Structure 1
């Protein structure tokens, strides 16, 4: 099975050689799942147990380093927030007069 990013414009895929982490959607946490789905902004998107996002959509402060193993782990309350959307999905810029 190929693990690929569920973002609208992202074409990243998981490979052994890459250091890019992939994270599954937390289906058992409805409040956090709703926030993640809203942030992805895909119309009609319902993640499954195989859906995931790559680490490019998370900020560095969404991770915590384990002192024992020195591995980066995703914080339990982290929500993806780094996206590049098409112009029709971006909020309008309000200009001051």
Structure 2
């Protein structure tokens, strides 16, 4: 099961930037984002809703999946690319120094 929070008003946008971009992100958070509580509903729905199957993608049902109620959405092609997933897995292992069996590699 995959889920994303949409554009949720958290400190992620403003702590990772500086200057004019930080101001722009604060304005975006104020006028475009949904609150963090609404954003987490997608993950909760994906984890607890009856009838969902593995591989389904849950996100907000509003404009460009930025905000709204949890619903089935369609991921971008890159989100389901096995080669890209394997590269991300290897990079994550390299950066963390942890090695785990890869579900992605076992499928190939």
TM-score, normalisation: structure 1: 0.26
Larger Rg: 2
TM-score, normalisation: structure 2: 0.25
Greater helix proportion: 2
